[in-house]
Amino acid sequence: MIRVLIATTQAERERFGPPLEAALAQAGLKAALGTEFAPEEVDYIVYTPTSGLADFSAFIQTKAVLSLWAGVERIVGNETLTMPLTRMVDPGLTAGMVEWVAGHVLRYHLDTDIDVCRSDARWEKHLAPLAPERSVVVFGLGALGAAAAQTLAGLGFDVSGWSRSAKDIPGIKCLHGDAGLAQALSRAEIAVLLLPDTPDTTNLFNAQTLAQMPRGTRIINPGRGPLIDDDALLLALAEGHIAHATLDVFRVEPLPEAHPYWAHPNVTVTPHIAAETRASSATWVIAENIRRGEAGEPFLHLVDRTLGY
């Protein structure tokens, strides 16, 4: 019998438990799910940082920690976690992120806020360029960034992408490293931020890098809050260099009521809704990784501890 410790909140256990049992059974795995196993008996840990589990040293037989979250910045540096760690790459989460990003890119591209937020009776036409005439840059070309970039390219946009290391994605101009970053910033009429949260990406979008973007750039951040230096963004907005920002993630969540983003006329705040792990698809990813662990096959979406994701 495979013992799977569910290290999540009660609400998460209720949401993911039954579909995970079904997925494991469908995969032909005899598994027991629980919260009270002796640590030395646990084969796998299904984990979220909200569980409170912080010391993994007693789990001496555990083959892998399987995160239900796409981001692993809150666990990757844990020195007691010596077993393999996987992150969640969920088809449902990816689809949700792509839809949210595409919607806001089109919103900016077409300037729909002009009419949607209209409070007067002015009959004033505004004609957007066609998609091939609009440069969109996706910063971060992991699973989510690559999917978003390819969807935007499919809509006809002039899409580039930037990542720390070299990538090759069909139909996307892929840039990387410091030299590539400067080029990417200079092309970003609409910038989509989908980088992981690592020491190298914290405050990557600061006064210096924001100044390298074209005047009037719109920023969309559904990635990680710490990617942006908030004070630098507020200053760039005040100066008109950055025209607008749509922000879904923040350093502190929920975003405090007194934060200037709430009342800023050129900031749209959304409450971390760009993408959500879907139980119906995420549990199949977990079940497949347990099957792989039992078969001695490589795990899907294994975290590189040196890179932090």
As given in the structure block, the two tokens for residue 213 are: 């973007």
Tell me the C-alpha distance between 3 and 36, whole Å: 10
74, 241, 251, 272: which one is catalytic? Answer: 272
Beta strand spans in the chain (E): 2-7, 31-34, 44-47, 64-67, 85-86, 135-139, 158-163, 173-176, 190-193, 217-221, 242-247, 267-269
Instruction: List the structure tokens of 282.
Output: 């995420």
Question: Residue 164: what are its φ and ψ, rounded to 5°?
Answer: -65, -45
Q: Which two tokens stand for residue 35?
A: 């919260």
Which of these is catalytic: 13, 134, 218, 224? 224
Mark whether 272 is an active-site residue.
yes
Burial class, 220, CB count within 10 angstroms (exposed 0-12 / middle 13-18 / buried 19+):
buried
List the one residue out of 143, 142, 147 whose CA is nearest residue 201.
Answer: 142
Residue with tokens 């690559």: 146
Q: Which candidate, 225, 292, 287, places its Cα nearest to that of 22?
A: 287
Tokens of 160: 């580039």
Q: How does DSSP classify residue 107?
A: H
Residue 126 among the catalytic residues: no
CA torsion angle 92 95 96 100 (round to 10): 170
Q: Which residues are tagged catalytic?
A: 224, 272
